[in-house]
């Protein structure tokens, strides 16, 4: 099913999809859309903004995800971010953590669509690129179609044309963010109904998508699929997705990708003092379920953090893999 208009993206994941991770993902697959981790308006306005906003041009197409609920502050952040050259600015209305609720942003914003509409409108005024929203299908006891539909209606009137919907509700009290990604059941049908009622909007499905088969099964008629944990666990899945959905034949093998990261690792260490482990930690899953994959993971985990380590650790890990034995073969039970 080749369709370049169908959007495949990697979900924003705090502490995971930092710029090193994105650079690595981009080497695996061109065209797939990448998202930053959520960056709060406070960090951009009062913190080390360049640390969170700068990125390598190779990462594009790239969306910046903002967290906040004050229209003026979000507009100011959007204006500050504009010269960096992002392709999309996304507002987080889906994160359920306590820290996020106390600042009144994330999933609790779904209770206040008028405020989200004001945020989107203010951001759009300062943005040369589309402003989009990532949300849940509901929160707490507001877990029904009309709640979601009303939210989407009101926010789209403010100019948002694309919604990424994590197809499970968030429980704002009693469940941790991690539990909120697994316990509330997925309801893909509600997202499909939304698309039926809003054919003019781009509706991207997120939550529990594991690979080509599940994307094909669950996104027919929708505008895209956003995948989070499955890609982080098995990054080379991105090459398969780019081939299946965009007809892009992978140019690089897993080994080529590993080798291509060496100059990046050494450049980051030289220019920014970045520890090697901060980059290699995202690469642990590169040989997921491949012969030697466990040895790759083990070598990096045990050696990347050593003082004075360089990108050469990648070559060493690749040669360590050559000693792969039977135990490393993919598990038949998986």
Ligand X SMILES: Cc1cc2nc3c(=O)[nH]c(=O)nc-3n(C[C@H](O)[C@H](O)[C@H](O)COP(=O)(O)O)c2cc1C
Residue nearer to ligand X on the CB measure, 94 or 293: 94
Bridge pairing between strands 224-227 and 202-206: parallel
At residue 103's C-alpha, the angle toward residues 38 and 53, to 5°, is: 25
First to last CA, the chain: 26
Catalytic residue among 95, 108, 119, 135: 95
Binding to ligand X by residue 37, rule CB under 6 A? yes
* 95 annotated active-site: yes
Return the range that interacts with ligand X (CB under 6 A); candidates 45-53, 89-97, 115-123, 301-309.
89-97
Shortest Å, Cβ 320 to ligand X: 28
CA distances from residue 186 to 151, 165, 209, 212, 216 in whole angstroms, order as listed:
19, 11, 10, 18, 16
Residue nearer to ligand X on the CB measure, 120 or 318: 120
Applying CB under 6 A, the site for ligand X has a residue count of 22
Residue nearer to ligand X on the CB measure, 133 or 257: 133
Residue nearer to ligand X on the CB measure, 37 or 143: 37
In the complex, residue closest to ligand X by CB: 228
Positions 167 through 206 that interact with ligand X (CB under 6 A):
181, 206
Shortest Å, Cβ 127 to ligand X: 18
CA distances from residue 219 to 62, 215, 222, 288 in whole angstroms, order as listed:
22, 6, 5, 25
Return the range that interacts with ligand X (CB under 6 A); candidates 6-14, 72-80, 266-274, 309-317.
6-14
Binding to ligand X by residue 228, rule CB under 6 A? yes
Q: Which of 71, 113, 138, 208 binds ligand X (CB under 6 A)?
A: 208
Residue nearer to ligand X on the CB measure, 108 or 313: 108
Binding to ligand X by residue 26, rule CB under 6 A? no
Binding to ligand X by residue 224, rule CB under 6 A? no
Binding to ligand X by residue 12, rule CB under 6 A? yes
Query: Which residues lie closer than 8 Å to 54 by C-beta, 6 or more apart?
Result: 19, 84
Q: Which of 166, 169, 195, 297 binds ligand X (CB under 6 A)?
A: 166
- Determine the Cα–Cα distance for residues 167 and 193; give it in Å rounded to an integer: 12
**Cα within 13 Å of Cα(250), Cβ side:** 19
Residue 86 · residue 62 · CB < 8 Å: yes
The contact mask relative to ligand X for 56-85 (x = CB under 6 A, - = no) is ---------x--------------------
Give the number of other Cβ atoms within 10 Å of residue 4's Cβ. 10
- Determine the Cα–Cα distance for residues 142 and 147; give it in Å rounded to an integer: 6
DSSP, collapsed to helix, strand or coil, labels residue 34 as strand
- Determine the Cα–Cα distance for residues 43 and 71; give it in Å rounded to an integer: 15
Q: Which of 126, 229, 252, 305 binds ligand X (CB under 6 A)?
A: 229
- Determine the Cα–Cα distance for residues 68 and 11; give it in Å rounded to an integer: 18
The residues assigned a catalytic role are 95
Binding site for ligand X (CB under 6 A): 11-14, 16, 37-38, 65, 92, 94-95, 134, 166, 181, 206-209, 227-230
């Amino acid at each position: 099913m080749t369709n370049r208009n169908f959007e495949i993206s990697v979900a924003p994941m705090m502490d995971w999809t930092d710029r090193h991770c994105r650079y690595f993902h981009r080497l695996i697959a061109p065209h797939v859309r990448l998202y930053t981790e959520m960056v709060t308006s406070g960090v951009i306005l009062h913190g080390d903004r360049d640390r969170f906003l700068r990125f390598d041009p190779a990462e594009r197409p790239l969306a910046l995800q903002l967290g906040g609920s004050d229209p003026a502050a979000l507009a100011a952040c959007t204006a500050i971010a504009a010269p960096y050259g992002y392709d999309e600015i996304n507002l987080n209305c889906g994160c359920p953590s306590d820290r996020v609720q106390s600042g009144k942003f994330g999933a609790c914003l779904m209770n206040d669509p008028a405020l989200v509409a004001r945020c989107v409108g203010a951001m759009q005024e300062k943005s040369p690129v589309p402003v989009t929203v990532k949300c849940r299908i509901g929160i707490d006891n507001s877990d029904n179609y009309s709640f979601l539909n009303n939210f989407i209606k009101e926010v789209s009137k403010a100019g948002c044309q694309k919604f990424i919907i994590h197809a499970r509700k968030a429980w704002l009290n009693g469940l941790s963010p991690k539990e909120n990604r697994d316990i509330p059941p997925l309801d893909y049908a509600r997202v499909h109904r939304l698309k039926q009622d809003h054919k003019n909007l781009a509706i991207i499905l997120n939550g529990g998508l594991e690979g080509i088969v599940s994307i094909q099964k669950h996104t027919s008629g929708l505008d895209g699929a956003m995948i989070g944990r499955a890609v982080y666990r098995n990054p080379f899945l991105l090459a398969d997705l780019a081939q299946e959905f965009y007809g892009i034949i992978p140019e690089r093998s897993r080994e080529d990708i590993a080798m291509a990261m060496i100059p990046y690792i050494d450049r980051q260490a030289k220019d920014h003092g970045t520890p090697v482990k901060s980059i290699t930690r995202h690469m642990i899953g590169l040989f997921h379920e491949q012969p030697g994959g466990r040895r790759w993971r083990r070598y990096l985990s045990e050696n990347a953090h050593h003082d004075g380590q360089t990108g050469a650790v990648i070559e060493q890990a690749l040669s360590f893999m050559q000693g792969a034995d039977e135990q490393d073969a993919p598990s038949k039970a998986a």
